[in-house]
Amino acid sequence: MTRHTLFSNTPVEIGENSGKDNYIMAIESSCDETACAIVKNGREVVANIVASQIKTHAKFGGVIPEIAAREHLDAINVVIEEAFQQSGLTGKDITAFAGTVGPGLVGCLLVGLNAAKTLALAYDKPFIGVNHLNAHLCANYIDTDLKPPFMALLVSGGHTQIIDVESYSKQTIIGETIDDAVGEAYDKVARLIGLPYPGGPKLDKMAQEGNPLAFSLPQARVDGFNFSFSGLKTAVLRLVKSFNDKDLPVADICASFQECVSSTLLNKVKKALSETNYKQVVIAGGVAANSEIRKKIFSLENEGYKVYAPPMKFCTDNAAMVAACAYFNTNTFDDINVEVFSRVK
Ligand code: KG4
Ligand code: ZN
């Protein structure tokens, strides 16, 4: 696709048909990670820097948006400098600069997006604004030869979706949660049973020591490819209340919760696959780092599907996925005046 440099308006070819090596520098700051990466031709990561704010927010048990935005301000120049250093490249070598536009925390997004715009202006390169959810899917292009079409399960802190990815730029959400996202359910249940922030990965770890069949928790019956996880959360709350604090079988509750969530996800993905002739499945988003969800979705390989999942570091928020998205997806925000947005419009 042809994009244009910001001052001289020179055309620049970006993507698989550009005929030249593309080096895209991307910045991600939608939540509590300040990240900068440089990716060559959409698949080869030449620099990947992530500054995590977990320690800061752990004190509060969750992300405090205003504090997160200020931490992004402190970290942004550092991650950009480190990415240049790690790659050995300079601004002149970069083909285009990309940044996450949304969805995310507005104050946080502003920091990274303005940095990406500024770099594009300073080096007179094209600017590419990226949707954070599309970027999560594109993490699967890194170090693989994956090409659409495929069915995707996107599971993050704010979203749970089944997406029909027909081509690099054409994707249709065919199912989503009608209440809590999977990551949100993990974090809420973790808090309920006294696990510290960030709850999802801690709950996953604890689940590995428990019996997944200890408690039978309800799989919500929702039409089509949609999901609901708020009932499950209430069921866990009821279960927790039925014990004295000191006798709480934490590992068994974690394992039973994880079993219920992962089976629900697998069933819906199977249902979606049965209605297409796709032979490829991908998972993406922070919760795609979950051990049991990965195991269950990878079990589809026994049924003849090819399954893709990003390595852990590209499941949770990072900028390499944003750069991959800027390279492959032409459905981006290329206007320098684009505004950040908190929710999918
Ligand atoms: O994609 P992400 O980094 O941020 C959003 O865009 O939301 O996802 C963060 C979510 C959090 O809810 C976190 O608890 C969850 O991903 N998460 C996990 C695991 N690792 C991260 N949930 C369950 N098991 C994990 N191993
Ligand atoms: Zn994310």
Please report the atom of ligand 1 found closest to the CA of residue 136.
1
CA distance 76 to 16: 29
Which tokens is 80 given? 């950009």
Question: Who surrounds ion ligand 2 at CB < 5 A?
Answer: 156, 317
237 CB neighbour count, 10 Å cutoff: 14
Ligand 1 atom 19, closest CA: 201
Ligand 1 atom 22, closest CA: 200
DSSP one-letter string for 2-24: EEE-TTT--EEE-STTSSS--EE
In order along its 345 residues, the chain shows pLDDT tens digits of 999 999 999 999 999 999 999 999 999 999 999 999 999 999 999 999 999 988 888 888 888 999 999 999 999 999 999 999 999 999 999 999 999 999 999 999 999 999 999 999 999 999 999 999 999 999 999 999 999 999 999 999 999 999 999 999 999 999 999 999 999 999 999 999 999 888 999 999 999 999 999 999 999 999 899 999 999 999 999 999 999 878 899 999 999 999 999 999 999 999 999 999 999 999 999 999 999 999 999 999 999 999 999 999 999 999 999 999 999 999 999 999 999 999 875
CA distance 132 to 136: 6
Please report the atom of ligand 1 found closest to the CA of residue 30.
6
Pocket of ligand 1 (CB under 6 A): 31, 156-158, 183, 186-187, 198-201, 204, 285-287, 289-290, 316-317
CA distance 159 to 167: 21
315 CA distance to ligand 1 middle (Å): 8
pTM metric for this prediction: 0.95
Helical segments of 210-290, H only: 230-241, 250-274
* Measured torsion, CA atoms of residues 290, 261, 322, 143, in degrees rounded to the nearest 10: 50
**Where along the chain do its domains lie?**
2-142+316-327, 150-310
CA distance 82 to 282: 30
Asked if CATH classification 3.30.420.40 holds for the domain at 2-142+316-327, the reply, yes or no, is: yes
Shared fold status for 2-142+316-327 and 150-310: yes
Which of 159, 130, 153, 27 minimizes the C-alpha distance to 338? 130
CATH number of 150-310: 3.30.420.40
